[in-house]
């Protein structure tokens, strides 16, 4: 199915999402919106000029109200993080933007994909402001963290990334939880892999958590990898792939977590992320997940403080 995909925010991240989505061929129509109307129109014109090189898709700039007619709306509006700034430091500025956009989308039939950071708290903000069903407000969450973990594990093991299966859950940020106990290389537990040292886990986890900061320090923003991640998530939705992915949504009891948006594995298909699947956790991972939920709950509560 080719869908109407709307992207709100045409900065670094929004344009990377647009580019990756066009190349993947998921959109029949791609709609762009930005508070800087000329920028959105210019990006639409630039992308449309490349139509000979991606599957057929009509690209144009639209108003925010028109986004209500899209099947999937990607929220990429907001400012970027600054060097040494945590994602939660972005909260107040971007929560105001996310809340106003969520209000506009109230009552629509869209699935909303939140990309703007801090993505977990903003996923909850959008869910509350829009009143949409919880399964239809999805944050990219730890999909990118999971990709980073797999890449670094594969590099250390001298294997292809596709042969490494590991997940990150919880916050997309400093309290993220690496599920080492369930990590696999092919069909073998990572901790049983010849030469693997459990002592390496802490340094690899730090690399994953620091990855965005290192990119931002060098080039000012992260955009290409999250563009690919978001396009992959869009494909799962429009093609009803029902893939199990670590995405963020407001949780309703999974792993004992209520009312907080964070990442746990969920079945992603045409209806959104309706079925959350509790991963196997050892005691340390369960404690770390609860701590991550507490961090995110406190961050949301701070908005009204």
Residues identified as active-site = 172
CA 237 to CA 268: how far, in whole Å? 6
- The answer to whether 184 and 190 have CB atoms below 8 angstroms apart is yes
CA 224 to CA 19: how far, in whole Å? 9
Do strands 27-33 and 3-8 pair parallel, antiparallel, or not at all (unpaired)? parallel
Two tokens, residue 299: 């961050």
Sheet-wide strand order for 27-33: 58-61, 27-33, 3-8, 72-75, 111-114, 137-139, 243-252, 258-269, 272-276
Residue matched to tokens 């709307």: 6
214 alpha carbon, distance to own chain's centre: 19
Do strands 72-75 and 111-114 pair parallel, antiparallel, or not at all (unpaired)? parallel
Two tokens, residue 203: 């340094």
40 alpha carbon, distance to own chain's centre: 22
CB burial of 236-274 (b: ≥16 within 10 Å; e: otherwise) equals bbbeeeebbbbbbbbbeebbebeebbbbbbbbbbbebbb
- The answer to whether 166 and 149 have CB atoms below 8 angstroms apart is yes
CA 176 to CA 139: how far, in whole Å? 14
Two tokens, residue 288: 């770390």
């Amino acid at each position: 199915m080719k869908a109407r995909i709307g992207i709100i925010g045409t900065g670094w991240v929004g344009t990377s999402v647009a580019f990756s989505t066009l190349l993947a061929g998921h959109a029949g129509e791609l709609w762009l919106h930005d508070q800087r109307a000329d920028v959105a129109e210019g990006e639409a014109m630039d992308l449309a000029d490349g139509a000979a090189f991606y599957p057929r898709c009509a690209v144009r700039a639209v108003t925010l109200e028109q986004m209500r007619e899209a099947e999937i709306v990607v929220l990429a509006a907001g400012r970027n993080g600054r060097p040494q700034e945590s994602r939660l430091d972005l909260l107040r500025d971007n929560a105001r933007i996310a809340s106003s956009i969520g209000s506009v989308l109230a009552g629509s039939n869209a699935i909303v994909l939140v990309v703007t950071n801090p993505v977990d708290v903003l996923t909850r903000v959008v869910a509350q402001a829009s009143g949409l069903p919880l399964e239809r407000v999805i944050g990219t969450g730890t999909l990118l963290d999971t990709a980073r973990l797999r890449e670094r594990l594969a590099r250390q093991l001298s294997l292809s990334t596709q042969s490494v299966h590991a997940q990150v859950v919880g916050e997309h940020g400093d309290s993220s939880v690496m599920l080492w106990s369930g990590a696999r290389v092919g069909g073998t537990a990572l901790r049983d892999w010849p030469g693997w040292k459990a002592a390496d886990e802490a340094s690899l986890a730090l690399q994953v958590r620091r990855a965005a900061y290192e990119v931002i320090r060098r080039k000012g923003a992260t955009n290409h990898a999250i563009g690919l991640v978001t396009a992959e998530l869009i494909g799962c939705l429009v093609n009803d792939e029902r893939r199990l992915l670590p995405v963020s949504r407001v949780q309703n009891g999974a792993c004992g977590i209520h009312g907080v948006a964070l990442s746990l594995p969920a079945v992603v298909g045409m209806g959104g992320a309706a079925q959350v699947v509790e991963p196997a956790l050892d005691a340390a991972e369960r404690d770390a997940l609860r701590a991550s939920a507490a961090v995110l709950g406190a961050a949301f509560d701070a908005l009204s403080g």
